[in-house]
Amino acid sequence: MTFLHPGLALAGLAAVAIPIIIHLLMRRRRRPIMWGAMRFLLEAYRKHKRRLRLEQLLLLATRCLLIACLALALGRPILGAAGLLGGRKATTLYLLIDNSLASSATGADGRTALERHKQMARRTIEQLDSASGDRVALLALGGPAEAIVLPPTSDTSAVRGLIADLTPTHSAMDLTGAAERVRTHFAETEPRQGRAIVLVLSDFLAGSADTDRPLVQLTERDDAVVLASLPAATGVDNVSIESVQPLRTVMLTDWAAAPDATSTSSIRVALRRSGPWVSRAGETHLRVRIVAADGREAATSAEVAWKPGETKTTRVVSLSASPSPGRAVVVVEASPDAVAGDDVWRRPIEVRRSLRVAIVAPRRALNGSGLNPNDSADWLRIALSPIVIDRQRFTARETSGEIDVVTIDPGSLDTARLADLDAVFVTHPDLLDGGSWSRLRVLADGGGLIVVVPPSGAGVTVWTDAFTSAFDLDWTIGREPREHDPALGLAAERSVPLESDLLAMIAAEFQELSRPVRVWKSLSISGGSQSGSDAGSRLVELQGGEPFLVTAAPGGDDGTGVGLVVLFASSFGAQWTDLAAQPIFLPLVQEILRQGVGRASGSWTATAGVAFETPAGVVELRNDAGRTVSLAHAVPLRHAGLWRAVDERGVERGLIAVNADPAAGRTDALGRGAARSWLSRLSGAGVRWLADDDATGAAPVRDAVSVSEILTDAPDDTKASLPLLIAALLLAALEVALARWFSHATVATKAAKAGAAA
Amino acid sequence: MADETRSAVTAQRAPEEDATLYLHPATLARLKSFELRAKMIVEGIMSGQHRSPYQGFSVEFAQHRPYVPGDDVRHLDWKVFARTDKLHLKQYQQETTLDLIVMVDSSGSMAYGSRRFAEASGIGQKLSPRGGLNWTKFDHATALAAALSYITLRQGDRAGLVVYADAIRAMVNRSSAMGTWRQVVGALSTHPIDQPTDIGRAVDQMLAKVTNRCLIAIISDFFVDPDQIRAAFARVRHRGHDLIAFQVVDRDEVEFDFTQTTPFVGLEGEPMLRVDPRALRSAYLEAITTHAEQLERTTRGFGFDFQQVNTHDWLGPPLATFVARRSAQMKRGKYG
């Protein structure tokens, strides 16, 4: 037996103790009477002791039973599949309302789909009768699905208020998650009481109905009805920004040298359009802005022309800006359309005056500018700063505009020297001890770039174990270099996606530039991802498929999702390869540095409704509207916006842009057939379309059914509260009679009258 | 200093002075009328009061006393009349000794009382000499005993007192001197003890000290086993004494009109009993009524008198009953 108001029932049952407590309290309150004629009282008591006890027990039992009956009646019990006082079976309505991004699509009538869903939900709830035991649960489908009211409640007015407060999210519909919640609820509350109606209110546009995600069957009970609103017959025109990718995630501006200098950024914008207008040509206006931390912004516009049938396009927009150093945000806005939520995309970028790079290499025996062709460090200095100026005796410091290069001896690689570096090139890893590797790991976890080049000398490599262990990499690096005879060239084709490629800027020239490169020796590297990903990828391969340049993010339990490790398979020495002497070397190193630092510091973009990683030490997120989300209760954010990641000391650790789920913005009509096929998994009995009782002028749907029909179709059943109330009334009358009888008030009155007459 | 000494003396009043509180002014006022009534009875009806059972064998002159209507004119001392012009009777030894022994029960059950002392005492004093707020059955019994002794002594008879519970606690030997009354009152200035009544033992102890025939007035609630009472009365009867049983009860005890469930604690060590009085009322009343009826039957079965006295009533009726019944019995020649 379950209750509509279990709390009330429990409280009432607890009240059964009241008569007992009163009885005990009354026993304590009375002062004893010192009685002289005790022998007669004892004599009378001995004669009637059993009767008195029986009377007291009967009276107490009656009173307790009376309160228990009242409590149970107030708790509104549901017996079996029974209803209550009403004339039909109790019904539990599970309202699953689509408030995903697609539900914000404005229709021809000027109303959004969500507004129509809310109106339908309110009308449906009004048909419920709380007095009959009807209850309602509410789940919002904007991913991830949110159980707003579950378990169901009989307080329909409160649910109506919650429905009115629903707003569209920027995430995709999560019907799968909602179905899981309802199914779990069903399983936990079995055997359920009364009839269950699961009503899914959505337009089932392509962005809402992710048919690739199979649904789960809610229950095997045959009295659970699954209803769904009719899918939209036609879609609505919409353009979604699918991605915004600055080709450089780190902008370098040397303000000290030229305060008015500007940097040009190239931003790649991917768009998708959906809806009926796909068959026609169209135009979309783009506005691209870079908003600096100080509020200054630079903007440009671009037009995108759509050809008939074209659904996706990419546009690279160049924008000159002079943002102040710090964090900036690239904001791309598309011209307004039916769905406003996916018309804006935000992407944080880093703005630096310069990059600070260290080359970890031993101090050269002779001070001078001569090049040792077998020393990778010398080649790197040239590549990073073509003009070399010695400023210190022991740690040579070179300055070349946007890149500051320092050389650190492997033996003096301490935390202080690593403190403010963006990248470290290790050309003599064999000279580093375990502590040095650990300090480099700390630098990587803080968003640093670590580039490792094998030492030029021949022999067995033992440093690789400490290296892979320090960065928790699953690479297996050969102990001895493998010699290639004849020498191998670099593979012209690369399978790494452009979005995650450090070499995107030279991708077009890479094939031409890499052609003269020859490699005579290289370390074998295996393990890690074979394709491009944030976790690890092969940037460049040798002819034959062996990796030549690989990247990975530090792993292990301490991995924070930031930092980047780059490993060359060959030293830059002349005995290994002529790469350093080829024209590709300088752009290759420069791109690895500039793009790698951006990648290592983390891009910090997220998709609404999808879980994401945050910088290390972050405990909460704050937005400009004053809203705060604690990561202790981390849930995917459902709404787009900029969030400041704050650590426990209140220090900002990064900027996270949450953007609308581009997949959720597809507004093509799914069609009844596809929708029914997808939804049919929810119930073994299939899904029935919901007929709109108030719809006027609309063509009737053949197999549609209204909620009112289902409700009136429910047969009457056993009522539980009414018998309990009647029983309580009878018990109350019995209690009065017993109390009067057992108290002998009548006898006393008669005796008093008799005494008075005498 | 002198004031302090006076205050201390005032605080330590003599017991007999405190005992006068037991005599309601109304009762004392009534006493005069009883005396007058007695005189009227003696003068008008009981001519030659207290006819001695030993008349004819011993006519030893004892004293003169004033004539009251009803006295046998044969005993008028005409010589005295001739000298003083007043009528006096010649009294003889046996004729003047109506020995009254008042036995007052001081067991624990006598400590109950529902009447306010201030209202019962009639003198505005709120607390009894024992500090109680209520006018107990023992208070009522002592007042009755004092009144009986007073009447007896005022008639020139001898009066004695026995205070008992499980045994005799105090005793005043019989005497006709008016100072005896003060001794009686002093002996009554005690309090009930937490002991049950052993009337048989008390009567036996009393009878052991009495040789001549007496009128024994037992003032008690008689909340004891009826067989014990019967045995005691039988011994009294066997010794040729007369007896009046005054059963002192409180109104609560005979009405038992409590309405709330209350714990009752026995005054004689009985266990506490928490009951709903309304539920037990009829059974209780039946028990106590049966006991009273049985007591009366037993008493009258031996030819004794029985009178129930309620603490909420004034002492007039029992005193009147006492005098009237004694007079009637005297008329029947009980002592003749």
Q: Does A26 touch chain B (CB under 8 A)?
A: yes
Show which of A601, A632, A648 is a domain's final residue.
A601
Cβ B26 vs Cβ B314: under 8 Å: yes
Mark whether A245 and A226 lie in a shared domain.
no
- pLDDT band (50, 70, 90) for residue A418: confident
Task: For residue B310, list chain A residues with Cβ-Cβ distance below 8 A.
Answer: none
Count interface pairs A-B at CB distance under 8 A: 116
User: Does the beta-carbon distance from B278 to A45 stay under 8 Å?
Assistant: no
Task: For residue B109, list chain A residues with Cβ-Cβ distance below 8 A.
Answer: 36-38
State the smallest CA–CA distance between residue A90 and chain B in angstroms. Answer: 48
CATH number at residue A347: 2.60.40.10
CA distances to A205, A370, A378, A592 from A373, in Å: 63, 9, 8, 21
Across chain A, what does the average pLDDT equal? Answer: 79
Range A353-367 average pLDDT = 79
Selecting from A27, A37, A747 the residue whose C-beta is nearest the C-beta of B223 gives A37
Mark whether A682 and A695 lie in a shared domain.
yes
User: Regarding predicted confidence, which is higher, B329 or A554?
Assistant: A554
Domain residue spans of chain B: 27-95, 98-329
Least confident of A228-242, A613-627, A672-686: A613-627
User: Regarding predicted confidence, which is higher, A514 or B39?
Assistant: A514
Interface test with A, best of B139, B268, B280, B286 (most A CBs within 10 A): B280
The neighbour count for residue A212, using CB atoms within 10 Å, is: 7
Q: Are strands A355-360 and A423-426 parallel, antiparallel or unpaired?
A: parallel
User: Does the beta-carbon distance from A55 to B279 stay under 8 Å?
Assistant: yes
The predicted pLDDT at position A3 comes to 59
User: Does the beta-carbon distance from A44 to B223 stay under 8 Å?
Assistant: no
User: Does the beta-carbon distance from A30 to B223 stay under 8 Å?
Assistant: no
User: Regarding predicted confidence, which is higher, B67 or A263?
Assistant: B67
Of A542, A570, A565, A538, the closest CA to residue A554 belongs to A565
Least confident of A258-267, A376-385, A743-752, B180-189: A743-752
Q: Does A745 touch chain B (CB under 8 A)?
A: yes
- A317, containing H or E segment: strand A312-321
CATH number at residue A202: 3.40.50.410
CA distances to A95, B15, B18, B110, B204 from B10, in Å: 94, 12, 11, 29, 40
Selecting from A36, A47, A755 the residue whose C-beta is nearest the C-beta of B283 gives A47
User: Does the beta-carbon distance from A38 to B272 stay under 8 Å?
Assistant: no
The verdict on residue A626 lying in a domain is yes
Q: Does A49 touch chain B (CB under 8 A)?
A: no
Range A356-384 average pLDDT = 80
Least confident of A21-25, A339-343, B155-159, B265-269: A21-25
Least confident of A122-136, A394-408, A574-588, B236-250: A394-408
User: Does the beta-carbon distance from B250 to A745 stay under 8 Å?
Assistant: no
> A613 Cβ partners below 8 Å, 6+ apart?
A560, A561
The predicted pLDDT at position B123 comes to 63
CA distances to A424, A502, A503, A519, B163 from A538, in Å: 20, 11, 12, 17, 122
Task: For residue B280, list chain A residues with Cβ-Cβ distance below 8 A.
Answer: 41, 44-45, 48, 52
User: Regarding predicted confidence, which is higher, B190 or A335?
Assistant: A335
User: Does the beta-carbon distance from A35 to B282 stay under 8 Å?
Assistant: no
pLDDT above 70: residue A533: no
Mark whether A488 and A593 lie in a shared domain.
yes
Interface test with B, best of A26, A30, A35, A749 (most B CBs within 10 A): A35
- pLDDT band (50, 70, 90) for residue A286: very high
The predicted pLDDT at position B242 comes to 85
The predicted pLDDT at position A84 comes to 42
CA angle at residue A334 from A333 to A338, to 5 degrees? 125
Mark whether A416 and A541 lie in a shared domain.
yes
User: Does the beta-carbon distance from B273 to A755 stay under 8 Å?
Assistant: no
Mark whether A22 and A157 lie in a shared domain.
no
> pLDDT > 90: what percent of chain A?
13
Interface test with A, best of B105, B115, B195, B273 (most A CBs within 10 A): B273
Range A286-292 average pLDDT = 89
The predicted pLDDT at position A440 comes to 92
- d(C-alpha A688, C-alpha A706), whole Å: 10
Q: Report pLDDT digits (tens) over A77-108.
A: 655 444 444 456 778 889 999 999 988 888 87
The predicted pLDDT at position A396 comes to 46
Model-level pTM greater than 0.80?
Answer: no
Cβ A218 vs Cβ A183: under 8 Å: yes
Rounded to whole angstroms, the maximal C-alpha distance in chain A is 141
Task: For residue B261, list chain A residues with Cβ-Cβ distance below 8 A.
Answer: 26-27, 30
- pLDDT band (50, 70, 90) for residue A756: very low
- d(C-alpha A174, C-alpha A475), whole Å: 37
Of A167, A205, A77, the closest CA to residue A640 belongs to A167
CATH number at residue A396: 3.40.50.880
Q: Which residue on chain B is closest to A51 by alpha carbon?
A: B279
Cβ A498 vs Cβ A507: under 8 Å: yes
pLDDT above 90: residue A394: no
The predicted pLDDT at position A569 comes to 92
Least confident of A392-396, A451-455, B314-318: A392-396
Mark whether A287 and A183 lie in a shared domain.
no
User: Regarding predicted confidence, which is higher, B155 or A606?
Assistant: A606
- d(C-alpha A511, C-alpha A449), whole Å: 25
pLDDT above 50: residue A612: yes
Q: Which residue on chain B is closest to A42 by alpha carbon?
A: B273
- pLDDT band (50, 70, 90) for residue A76: low
Across chain B, what does the average pLDDT equal? Answer: 75
Selecting from A37, A742, A745 the residue whose C-beta is nearest the C-beta of B253 gives A37
Q: Does A460 touch chain B (CB under 8 A)?
A: no
Domain B98-329 top-level CATH class: alpha beta
Q: Report pLDDT digits (tens) over B157-175.
A: 788 999 999 889 999 998 8
The predicted pLDDT at position A80 comes to 45
pLDDT above 50: residue A758: no
User: Regarding predicted confidence, which is higher, A507 or A472?
Assistant: A472
Contact residues of B toward A, CB < 8 A:
108-112, 137, 221, 223, 250, 253, 255, 257-268, 270-276, 278-288, 291
Residue A623: which domain range? 605-659
pLDDT above 60: residue A620: yes
Q: Which residue on chain B is closest to A53 by alpha carbon?
A: B275
Cβ B204 vs Cβ B229: under 8 Å: no
Of the ranges A339-343, B7-11, B36-40, B319-323, which is most confident?
A339-343
Mark whether A487 and A515 lie in a shared domain.
yes
Q: Which residue on chain A is closest to B111 by alpha carbon?
A: A36
Tokens standing for residue A505: 């800027």
The verdict on residue A85 lying in a domain is no
Least confident of A89-98, A185-194, A213-222, B193-202: A185-194
Selecting from B264, B282, B291 the residue whose C-beta is nearest the C-beta of A747 gives B282
Show which of A288, A320, A353 is a domain's final residue.
A353
User: Does the beta-carbon distance from A48 to B280 stay under 8 Å?
Assistant: yes
Task: For residue A52, list chain B residues with Cβ-Cβ distance below 8 A.
Answer: 275-276, 279-280
- pLDDT band (50, 70, 90) for residue B90: confident
Task: For residue B291, list chain A residues with Cβ-Cβ distance below 8 A.
Answer: 40
Kindly give the residue spans of alpha helices, DSSP state H, lying in A408-506: 415-418, 434-445, 463-470
DSSP string of A128-167?
Answer: --GGGT-EEEEEE-BSSPEEEEEEEES-HHHHHHHHHT--
User: Regarding predicted confidence, which is higher, B311 or B25?
Assistant: B311
Task: For residue B288, list chain A residues with Cβ-Cβ distance below 8 A.
Answer: 37, 40
The predicted pLDDT at position A398 comes to 45
The predicted pLDDT at position A530 comes to 44
What phi-psi label fits residue A561: left (phi over 0), alpha (psi between -120 and 50 degrees) or beta? Answer: left
State the smallest CA–CA distance between residue A22 and chain B in angstroms. Answer: 13
The verdict on residue A287 lying in a domain is yes
Cβ A225 vs Cβ A688: under 8 Å: yes
Task: For residue B265, list chain A residues with Cβ-Cβ distance below 8 A.
Answer: 32-35, 38
Task: For residue B275, list chain A residues with Cβ-Cβ distance below 8 A.
Answer: 41, 45, 52
Least confident of A372-376, A753-757, B46-50, B113-117: B46-50
Task: For residue B289, list chain A residues with Cβ-Cβ distance below 8 A.
Answer: none
The verdict on residue A541 lying in a domain is yes
Mark whether A465 and A515 lie in a shared domain.
yes
pLDDT above 80: residue B72: no
Mark whether A444 and A545 lie in a shared domain.
yes
State the smallest CA–CA distance between residue B283 and chain A in angstroms. Answer: 5
**Chain position carrying tokens 């093509």:** A668
ipTM higher than the 0.85 cut? no
Range A491-516 average pLDDT = 73
Rounded to whole angstroms, the maximal C-alpha distance in chain B is 75
Selecting from A26, A38, A55 the residue whose C-beta is nearest the C-beta of B270 gives A38
Cβ A573 vs Cβ A579: under 8 Å: no
Interface test with A, best of B197, B272, B275 (most A CBs within 10 A): B275
Q: Report pLDDT digits (tens) over B114-146.
A: 888 777 766 666 777 667 788 889 888 888 888
The verdict on residue A86 lying in a domain is no
Range B173-200 average pLDDT = 83
User: Does the beta-carbon distance from B281 to A37 stay under 8 Å?
Assistant: no
- pLDDT band (50, 70, 90) for residue A695: low
Cβ A592 vs Cβ A476: under 8 Å: no
Q: Which residue on chain B is closest to A746 by alpha carbon?
A: B278
The neighbour count for residue A21, using CB atoms within 10 Å, is: 10
Return phi, psi of residue A349, to 5°.
Answer: -135, 165
Q: Does A43 touch chain B (CB under 8 A)?
A: yes
The predicted pLDDT at position B9 comes to 29
The predicted pLDDT at position A425 comes to 94
Tokens standing for residue B69: 């209507």
User: Does the beta-carbon distance from B284 to A40 stay under 8 Å?
Assistant: yes
The predicted pLDDT at position B232 comes to 94
Q: Is B310 helix (H, G, I), strand (E, B) or coil?
A: strand
Number of domains in chain A: 5
The predicted pLDDT at position A735 comes to 83
Q: Which residue on chain B is closest to A52 by alpha carbon?
A: B279
Mark whether A466 and A544 lie in a shared domain.
yes
Task: For residue A22, list chain B residues with Cβ-Cβ distance below 8 A.
Answer: none
Selecting from B137, B263, B280 the residue whose C-beta is nearest the C-beta of A44 gives B280
User: Does the beta-carbon distance from B270 to A39 stay under 8 Å?
Assistant: yes
Of B54, B153, B152, the closest CA to residue B95 belongs to B54
Show which of A353, A383, A409 is a domain's final residue.
A353
DSSP string of A579-607?
Answer: GGGSTTHHHHHHHHHHHHHHHHH---EEE
Range A548-575 average pLDDT = 80
- d(C-alpha A655, C-alpha A645), whole Å: 6
Task: For residue B253, list chain A residues with Cβ-Cβ distance below 8 A.
Answer: 36-37
- d(C-alpha B245, C-alpha B306), whole Å: 5
Task: For residue A41, list chain B residues with Cβ-Cβ distance below 8 A.
Answer: 264, 273, 275, 280, 284
Mark whether A367 and A477 lie in a shared domain.
yes
